[in-house]
Chains A and B, each alone.
Chain A
Amino acid sequence: MARAVTPRRKLINTGAAWAVGLLIFFPILWTILTSFKSEAQAIASPPILFNFDWTLENYGVVMERSNYARFLWNSIIIAGGSTILGLIVAVPAAWSMAFVPSRRTKDILLWMLSTKMLPAVGVLYPIYLLFIQMGLLDSRAGLVIVMMLINLPIIIWMLYTYFREIPVEILEAARMDGATLREEVLYILTPMAIPGIASTMLLNFILAWNEAFWTLNLTAVDAAPLTAFIASYSSPEGLFFAKLSAASTMAIAPILILGWFSQKQLVRGLTFGAVK
């Protein structure tokens, strides 16, 4: 709803929005800046914003100490795998709920959401024992499944609300023309649903990437993602702000970059049916 405004008004808007935006972004900016400082400069008083000796030393230390590539790869596999698997399960379910609703559809949806409310730590022992039984501990496959299940309700709900915004009339018209179910899905629904599916994928990827309870407790080496990587830098002896910042930057950079590049997608689909 872009409206014509006076340049003066636009200037004020711009100033206010940038100020708020920078304020919100500042903690991240500060972390990135600190990661390029020496430990002594990281705690200097008064704090130094830009005017310090830029160094890559902290990144060197972190790279030497941890196998960053493996943590990163595990994060990608777990977040990506659980997203793909989740979509395979969720798309048909959301489709049928959106287009062939029954009286119980709403109840089923709410029940699905309620499974997310089980406090994770309460079931750590049961799940850990199950994982031992099934030989899934410290395996990427195990985490892919858990992440998929954790986020499935959100995926289904998001897709459901998105699918519901697709006008039914189009489907009916297609059916009149004798389109089969398969053709209906393939040629009409899928193209219309792609933005929704894309943003669902993104959201799920972010949620799985940032999940820090199961990914930490069910892994050791082979499947340990970036959340475990960060746990080895959280409070060591001595000065650590700069190294912590470097490790933090490395942990969030991939997802931050992905998020920025795809933010249009994310924004377009992230409505949860909020727009009517």
Chain B
Amino acid sequence: MIRKTSLGVASVLALVAGTSASADAHSATLTIATVNNGDMIRMQGYTDQFTEQTGIAVEWVTLEENVLRQRVTTDITTKGGQFDIMTIGMYETPIWGANDWLVPLDDLSAEYDVDDILPAMRNGLSHDGTLYAAPFYGESSMVMYRTDLMEAAGLEMPTDPSWQFIREAAAAMDDPANDINGICLRGKAGWGEGGAFITVTGNSFGARWFDEDWNAQFDQPEWAEALNFYVNLMNDYGPEGYATNGFNENLSLFNQGKCGMWIDATVAASFVTGDDSTVADSVGFALAPNNEGVEKRANWLWAWALAIPAGTQQEAEAKQFIEWATSKDYIALVAANEGWANVPPGARTSLYETPEYQEVPFAQMTLDSINAADPNNPTVDPVPYVGIQFVAIPEFAGMATEVSQEFSAAYAGQQTVEEALEKAQAITNEVMEAAGYQ
């Protein structure tokens, strides 16, 4: 047994030694945390070319969105230094930038052409005018609909539909006998899922999260109107179990031909017209709707962007990678290999000026949708916050997830809309009071 013990100790020590050896080898390598979205995974396939050009190796940590958020937030707040580049969104960037946790991207090379980044994206990824993260792709939201079903229903989709028209069209296209739902929308709990959708829906009904003194506004009639409209629409013409559907579930439904309409991220356009879709030939696009007479539409604004945590040992290399991954050349590279419809959209003005890209059916509508979104002025009534489908304060993610859980319970019929709004109001005020806003 003694021999066994010493053998065990020796092998454990060997493990430890092995680990420290690999830690030395680490220095020539960038570690990048990213989300498991299609565009990101495609980029990983091209990383070899970057390594060939620069000699910088890249290690990917690819995680599902919720796990990624949890992982990178823990690391940045504790200064863990696990990553040289993090993939973050428009919500995190200004907050982290304000805390000086990110390396400012104010010295990017001239050929990178930072002024080419779409103004809306650049604003959303800056704090006090300094860019802290470079957009890999950007998105707004829009209506995607089945042209064949619309035609069969004898309707024509305007480029700027109202919610009332959406409801009418959903009623006309709904066909349970053939397994077609009039409309598919997100209902899944989570601030980035159903929470984002219901917030922009609220905006398009004139609702807002807070008044100018940071008082929660869920007790206002606009919210009741928005939420009731959504619940009635989905109960009448939505798919079974929509309370657990997020982006991915709806994409899958739409691609299987089970939705007449789907209002969601503009990036979905390349998927619903792509190889995996059974309805690729008959998809039309329109601006996200508004309640008749309300000037704001249900357009959100989001970007998945690459940022460098302050304190990394490899700032220069990390910048080199970011310049490569978000460059015009990268877009051209993807276009050459996979076609223009598959390039990362919504980040650069020049993309939308490219004649080949203008022929992509959803290009113009994507740009129009992005331009229709204004994070600094998201609602009808004035608000103290920046952000459209989110409120750019650190407390938001937690409370919006809880609020959207209450909403999802209402979608599933487990409580009434009024009860859900009451709870949302209480949760929000509780958090804001604890954080010292009120």
Contact = CB atoms under 8 A, between A and B. Distances in A.
A234 to B, nearest CB: 4
A276 B78 CA distance: 51
Q: Give the interface SS of chain A, mostly helix, strand, loop or mixed.
A: helix
B1 A236 contact: no
Contacts of A84: 8, 11-12
24 contacts: A39-B276, A43-B252, A65-B62, A66-B62, A84-B8, A85-B12, A87-B8, A131-B80, A137-B81, A139-B19, A139-B20, A141-B16, A217-B70, A217-B74, A222-B22, A223-B19, A232-B36, A232-B64, A235-B248, A236-B37, A236-B38, A236-B64, A236-B248, A237-B38
B71 to A, nearest CB: 7
Given A186-B1, A221-B61, A138 B15 contact: no
A237 B37 contact: yes
A132 B255 CA distance: 45
A231 B67 CA distance: 7
A129 B75 CA distance: 10
Nearest to A221: B59
Given A237-B38, A238-B252, A238-B276, A220 B16 contact: no
B19 A125 contact: no
A217 B15 contact: no
In order of increasing CB-CB distance, the 10 nearest A-B pairs are A232-B62, A141-B16, A234-B64, A220-B82, A84-B8, A221-B59, A236-B36, A139-B19, A237-B38, A231-B67
Interface in B242-258: 246-248, 251-252, 255-256
Contacts of B79: 132
Contacts of A275: none
Q: Bin the interface of chain A by size.
A: 35 or more
Interface of B: 1, 5, 8-9, 11-12, 15-16, 18-20, 22-23, 26, 31, 33, 36-38, 41, 44, 59, 61-65, 67, 70-71, 74, 78-83, 246-248, 251-252, 255-256, 271, 276
Residue among A65, A131, A224, A238 with most chain B CB within 10 A: A238
B74 A128 contact: yes
A102 interface: no
Given A222-B22, A231-B67, A239-B276, A125 B74 contact: yes
Given A65-B41, A217-B71, A238-B252, 11 more contacts: A66-B62, A125-B78, A128-B74, A132-B79, A220-B82, A222-B23, A228-B63, A235-B64, A235-B248, A236-B37, A237-B38
B239 to A, nearest CB: 14
A78 B50 CA distance: 32
B358 to A, nearest CB: 25
Contacts of B18: 140
A131 B79 CA distance: 11
B36 A77 contact: no
Given A237-B247, A238-B38, A129 B78 contact: yes
Given A88-B8, A217-B74, A185 B19 contact: no
A140 B33 contact: no
Nearest to B33: A220
Contact of A128 (B5, B37, B62, B80): B80
Given A65-B44, A140-B19, A231-B64, A88 B9 contact: yes
A43 B83 CA distance: 37
Contacts of B1: 91, 185-186, 190
Contacts of A65: 41, 44, 62
Contacts of B33: 220
B254 to A, nearest CB: 11
Contacts of B78: 125, 128-129, 132
Contacts of B20: 139
Contact of A237 (B44, B61, B271): B271
Given A87-B8, A124-B74, A132 B80 contact: yes
Interface in A96-134: 124-125, 128-129, 131-132
Interface in A16-54: 39, 43
A233 interface: yes
Contact of B82 (A81, A138, A239): A138
A205 B352 CA distance: 55
A226 interface: no
B5 A88 contact: yes
B23 A221 contact: no
Nearest to B256: A43
A216 interface: yes
A224 B61 contact: yes
B56 to A, nearest CB: 15
B199 to A, nearest CB: 21
A220 B83 contact: yes
B15 A81 contact: yes
A270 interface: no
A77 B37 contact: no
A85 B248 CA distance: 43
Interface string A207-227: 000000000110011111000
Given A140-B19, A222-B22, A231-B63, A239 B9 contact: no
Contacts of A43: 252, 256
B198 to A, nearest CB: 20
B19 A137 contact: no
B82 A137 contact: yes
A221 B18 CA distance: 14
B386 to A, nearest CB: 27
Contacts of B271: 237-238
Given A39-B276, A132-B79, A144-B12, A232 B23 contact: no
Interface string A131-162: 11000011111001000000000000000000
Interface in A41-100: 43, 65-66, 77, 81, 84-85, 87-88, 91
B251 to A, nearest CB: 6
A144 B19 CA distance: 11
Nearest to B26: A222
A84 B82 CA distance: 28
A139 B36 CA distance: 24
A71 to B, nearest CB: 11
